[in-house]
Structure 1
Amino acid sequence: MEKLQVLDITGLSFTSLPLSIELLENLKSLCLDQCRLEDVTIIGKLKGLQFLSFLDSTIARLPKEIGGLTELRFLDLTGCTELKVIEPGMLGNLVNLEELYMENSFDQWEAEDKVPRSNASLAELKNMKNLSTLSIAIPHSVNLLRDLPFGKLNMHKIQIGEVWDCLCMHKESRTLELKLDSSYLLLEEWVQKCLQRAQDLHLGGLQDGNDSIHDLCIEDAEAEDGDEIDDDPKVKSCKLRRLTLRNLPMITSFYKRADYPVDLFDAQQLVFLVTSIIMNSVGYSPFAVNEATSLEAITIERCQLIRKVFDLEGLTTNEEVEILSRLRELTLSDLSSLEYIWNKNPQRASCFQNLRTLKVQNCENLRFLFSSSMAKALKQIKEIEIVSCDKMEEIINVQEEELEEAKSADTLNFPILTFLSLEELPNLRTFSYEKYDIHYPSLTRLTISSCPKMMTFSSSERKQQLMRADIGLQQAFGHINSGLSLPVFFNEKVLFPRLEELKLSSMCRLKRIWHNQLPEESFCKLTSFTVELCENLSHVFPSNSMDRLQSLNKIEVVGCPSLEALFEWVCLSSEKRQTPLVLSALKKIKLWNLPRLRDVLKSDRKVNFKSPCLMEVDVRCCHSLPYLFSSATARSLRKLAILEVSVAITYGA
């Protein structure tokens, strides 16, 4: 055993480690992961130890004797949540330490000048001249030193301030999370260096009234560890891939400098571009943009003064450039003053062309999501989720100059969009006005909920025309089933060839869902359809839709008091009446609280309707329904396994 070099003891309990362990003079690596430990003093006698891990162990104290392991290169204290004491001087003696992991672990740092000290000080880390990797949490920034050795770390997860995120969730190798009461710390040199090289930056707090966070990247930074820095002294360079900003109530600008003649953004917005591209004194450089557009995710939450995120108005370039070409995720939440995200797509610039996910929530002053030119640029967008934006009237805003440039029948195409959700948008009237056809060749899930003013998904009328018509309908909508002729929700201008799940909820002005002349391939993949709380809906499916619904396996209709039939009136010739109408894949029907429902399918004559795969039927509170199935339909239901009917049928009708 004297020659043993690696010892792994996992998941055991020790009041104290056995005395015989000190005989392992050649031991280089000791793993005590997930152990219950009390006294580990004896480990200090293993003078040749280079690797020591207490991962996820229950340990309350690290004695000063551990500091005698001067050959130690690796120390892992990750997940040691009960570690409250590291005796003074212990860390300072580990002069050869290269990797130190302390996330979700010890955070009881004491000031260096405290007398007497009973716990570790951050000053001890200055003795670790070879330290290259560090994970650490520092809950109180007031005790931070000005000369901490963090600026040259190759890998780090540094959290300063109150914990509001789990560092273990971060995927990047250089993460910096700051939740501060004052911005003074941002001026420290080691913070500047960490900021310049950080790949994942989380910033929150700053309640001291500052309206800007200046100089996130130092101008005179020298290249370190192979990082390339542009020779131009005016160049700003960052390595950011992910950026999260939270709880910054006073911030109006992320970056303001007067010595750059190119003014890309005004003073009333949060500017991300400078954190992920290189700017110089003559404007955009193709080299600079190609080299530094590394930001992949942006999150902004609870920053009440931000009015604009990306102001691209007037941005012109002499050469083709890319703007935030690697940005994949954009999340905006609780921005009460936000008026727009971006206003237009500048000439000769490719903007946000790899954006995959866009989520916007509780931005009460936002009136639209993007312009039509910006919509055309978002070829890689896969998910759009918009929730609780009180003033939003449309998703795509067609600006006057864009309208003049557009062809008579232009198309907006979202080639790989798979998920679209619009919820709690009380003033939303349509996805887009004007003359655009809108194609969603890959969309599989669509949810529209609590959009009470939305009557049509895409309107061929101008915005002013639709709003005037809307005003004329407002009083009539106080009465159920007013009989007014309303726009069709999905008209012939929209194309959904792969849509599988469709949900429409709480849309009081919805009366007709589908146009009778839809494109042939539209909705042919639909498998699940839910409509609920649509008080003016008279029927669900158009009369000619049976053939395109052969993939439909679930229908749910709930709380639609004006609904009279699932399928609108069908007028068939004597020939066609001999052929049964079939929904071959339908497995489940749910019909709840439909007081006027009288027919599944309306027709001038008896129609043979079959659903051979139907397995579950749930009908409740459909008081006007005279019968559920005809005898011919009932004979075809050979797979029916569950039938629930309650307070539903009025006999003798």
Structure 2
Amino acid sequence: MELDGLIELKCFSSGGCTLIFPLLEDVIVNGCPNMKFFSEGPIKAPKLERVKVGMTEWHGPTKDRYFWKENLNMTIQNMFKEMATIAGAEFVRLFEFPKLVEKWHNEHNPINLSWQLETLVVDKCPSFINAMPSKLMLVLEKMTSLQVRECESLEEIFDLQGLEAVESTRVLPRLENLNFINLPKLRQLWNKDLQGTMRFNALYSLTLYKCSNLRHAFTPSMAWCLANLYHMEIKECDQMEGVIEEEEGQGSTVEKITFPRLSWMILKWLPNLTSFLSGKNHALDCPKIEYLRIAHCSKMRSLTWQSSLDINHNTPSLFTPRMNHLVK
């Protein structure tokens, strides 16, 4: 028996009748966060000895967990509570824990400091305006992967309000992968610029997909915080005009924005993208780019903003001979 993705399900049987399953050996429960018990009546399942919960990780294989406590009803009643309080949990899909969702933005920290959390999926949280409050960013020291998806009201990913510059160097120090998917109101990745002191030194991969309200992904100061970024993929962000926007108050001096390790970049189905880098006071340098794919970006004419009067044909290319694959 498998119960999968039944978000509103509270029980299998609400009647008082006896349920008899003489051959039942396996029960699998996935994505049923509101399930409180299995049946109001007695259950006879002599061959059943465990309930399996499959945790599908977005960047790797499924991790199965098994639960059993005396009988099927008691197992269901205690299963999600136990999962939410496991000190050694490495993977959490937030919507499966409604109580945790309720506490996510509370003044008191909802996360046990003993958590070993490595992968967090924030999904189907319609009330969230941001995904990561600053107080949580300071305690999730072992988190390597964050995926945020299908949060219809979400406007930003990281809330940095309240973080002092001295703290920002220890914010998510092991974060390697960021995936942001189907966030129709997302307008910025984080809401405060800590003047270049924020560092995601371990960040390796960034994916933006179907973030239709996002006009730009970064400012130059944000881009400088991603020194080790290797893979960047942006698809189907309908309103995106440029990946990096020019910051207000910039002088006339041309500054170089460098992604020293960026090797793989895909820009696809971005109908309003005119350039990768907006503003004529910055130059772009990607010395290790090897694969670049630009597809279905009908308004894009160059990777950096330039008018016909400003083009300097003696300016070195932002690419090096390392790039062996360009698709447009």
TM-score by length of 2: 0.72
- Cα distance in 2 for partners of 1:425, 1:269 equals 24
CA distance in 2, matches of 1:390, 1:211: 33
**Long gaps (5+) in structure 1:** 1-83, 86-108, 121-134, 146-156, 177-184, 222-233, 253-267, 279-291, 461-465, 467-484, 505-653
**451 and 319 in structure 1: CA distance in 2 versus 1, 3 angstrom threshold:** closer
C-alpha distance in 1 between matches for 2:236 and 2:80: 40
Match of 1:501 in 2: 325
2:148 aligned residue: 300
Aligned to 1:118: 20
Shift of 1:168: 8.2
Alignment of 1:145-544 (within 5 A): 159=53, 169-170=61-62, 189-194=81-86, 196-204=87-95, 212-214=101-103, 236=113, 238-248=115-125, 250-252=126-128, 268-271=129-132, 274-275=135-136, 277-278=138-139, 292-312=140-160, 315-318=163-166, 321-347=169-195, 349-401=197-249, 403-404=250-251, 408-432=253-277, 433-459=279-305, 492=315, 494-497=317-320, 498-504=322-328
Alignment check: 8 A CA contact 2:109 2:135 kept: no
**What is the CA–CA distance in structure 1 between the aligned matches of 2:186 and 2:168, rounded to whole Å?**
29
Indicate if the aligned counterparts of 2:122 and 2:131 stay in contact, CA closer than 8 A: no
- 1: distance between equivalents of 2:313 and 2:270? 18
By how many angstroms is 1:111 displaced?
7.5
Deviation at 1:381, TM superposition (A): 0.5
CA 367–167 in structure 1, closer or farther in 2 if over 3 Å, else same:
closer
Using a 3 Å threshold, how does the CA distance of structure 1 residues 490 and 191 change in structure 2: closer, same or farther?
farther
Q: 1:385 to 1:186 in 2, by over 3 A?
A: farther
Structure 2 CA distance, aligned partners of 1:431 and 1:488?
Answer: 16
1:531 is aligned to none
1:102-117 map, 5 Å:
116-117=18-19
Amino acid at match of 1:190: E
Structure 1 contact 241–297 (Cα < 8 Å) conserved? yes
In the superposition, relative to structure 1, how do residues 413 and 449 fare at CA in structure 2: closer, same or farther (>3 Å)?
Answer: same
Letter in 2 for 1:138: V
Quote the Cα distance in structure 2 between the aligned partners of 1:137 and 1:166. 19
Instruction: Supply the distance in 2 between the matched residues of 1:427 and 1:303 (Cα, whole angstroms).
Output: 23
Give SS of 2:292's match. Answer: strand
Alpha-carbon offset, residue 430 of structure 1: 1.1
- Distance of aligned partners of 1:215 and 1:384 in 2 relative to their CA distance in 1, 3 Å threshold: closer
Equivalent pair of 2:196/2:221 in contact (CA under 8 Å): no
Quick one: distance in 2 between partners of 1:302 and 1:423?
Answer: 20
Q: Which has the higher contact order (CA 8 A, sep 6+)?
A: 2
Partner amino acid, structure 2, of 1:492: T
Please tell me the residue identity of whatever aligns with 1:500: N
How far apart are the structure 2 equivalents of 1:347 and 1:167?
A: 32
User: Which residues of 2 match residues 589-628 of structure 1 at below 5 A?
Assistant: none
Q: CA deviation at 1:392?
A: 0.7
How many equivalent pairs are there? 291
Contact persistence 2:275–2:304 (CA under 8 A)? yes
SS of the residue corresponding to residue 213 of structure 1 reads helix
Q: Does the Cα contact within 8 Å between 1:371 and 1:396 map onto a contact in 2?
A: yes
| Deviations, residues 494-553 of structure 1 (Å, cap 9, x unaligned) | 42111111122xxxxxxxxxxxxxxxxxxxxxxxxxxxxxxxxxxxxxxxxxxxxxxxxx
Distance change in 2, residues 1:168/1:373 (3 Å): closer
Do 1:192 and 1:216's aligned partners in 2 also have CA atoms closer than 8 Å? no
Give % identity. Answer: 23
Measured after TM superposition, the shift of residue 339 of structure 1 is 0.6
**Counterparts in 2 of 1:168 and 1:345: CA distance versus 1, 3 Å:** closer
Distance 1:434 1:316, change over 3 A: farther
Whole-angstrom CA distance in 2 between matches of 1:326 and 1:355: 8
Give the superposition deviation at 1:360: 0.6
Which TM-score applies when normalising by structure 1? 0.38
Q: 1:434 to 1:344 in 2, by over 3 A?
A: farther
Q: Identify the residue that residue 5 of structure 2 maps to in structure 1.
A: none
Paired with 1:490 and 1:434, the residues of 2 have a C-alpha distance of 15
**C-alpha deviation, 1:118, in angstroms:** 2.4
The CA RMSD over aligned residues, in Å, is 4.4
Amino acid in structure 1 at the alignment position of 2:315: E
Contact 1:238 1:276 in 2 (8 A): no
- Mapped contact 1:438–1:494 kept (Cα < 8 A): no
Pairwise CA distance, 1:334? 1.0
1:364 counterpart SS class: coil
**Cα 1:434–1:342 shift into 2, 3 Å:** farther
Q: Tell me if structure 1 keeps the 8 A contact 2:134–2:159.
A: no
Residue 194 of structure 2 aligns to a residue whose secondary structure is coil
- Superposed displacement of residue 398, structure 1: 2.2
Instruction: Quote the Cα distance in structure 2 between the aligned partners of 1:246 and 1:501.
Output: 34
SS at match of 1:378: coil
Distance of 1:492 and 1:348 partners within structure 2: 27
Change (3 A) 1:205 1:302: farther
Q: Distance in 1 between matches of 2:271 and 2:240?
A: 8
Query: Is contact 1:175–1:200 with CA below 8 Å preserved after alignment?
Result: no
Shift in CA distance, 159/188, structure 1 to aligned 2, threshold 3 Å: closer
C-alpha change, 1:170 and 1:362, in structure 2 (3 Å) is: same
Amino acid at match of 1:394: G
Q: For each residue in 1:397-447, what CA deviation from the matched residue of structure 2 results, as whole angstroms up to 9, or x when unmatched?
A: 22124x24xx82322111111111111111111111232221111110111
TM superposition shift of 1:350: 3.4
Instruction: Tell whether the 8 Å contact from 1:344 to 1:371 is kept in structure 2 after alignment.
Output: no
Q: Gaps spanning 5+ residues in structure 2: where?
A: 3-10, 40-50, 68-76
Name the CA distance, whole Å, in 1 between partners of 2:205 and 2:135.
21
Measured after TM superposition, the shift of residue 142 of structure 1 is 3.7
Larger radius of gyration, structure 1 or 2?
1
Secondary structure at 2:84 match in 1: helix
**CA displacement 1:312-349 (0-9 Å, x = unmatched):** 36742446632111111111111111111124541484
Change (3 A) 1:339 1:416: same
Question: In structure 2, how many angstroms separate the alpha carbons of the residues matched to 1:270 and 1:400?
Answer: 26
Q: 1:239 to 1:272 in 2, by over 3 A?
A: farther
Question: Given that residues 240 and 276 in structure 1 are in contact (C-alpha distance below 8 angstroms), is that contact kept between their aligned partners in structure 2?
Answer: no
Q: 1:39-188, aligned counterparts within 5 Å?
A: 116-119=18-21, 137-139=28-30, 141-143=35-37, 159=53, 169-170=61-62
CA deviation digits over 1:50-87, x for unaligned, max 9?
Answer: xxxxxxxxxxxxxxxxxxxxxxxxxxxxxxxxxx69xx
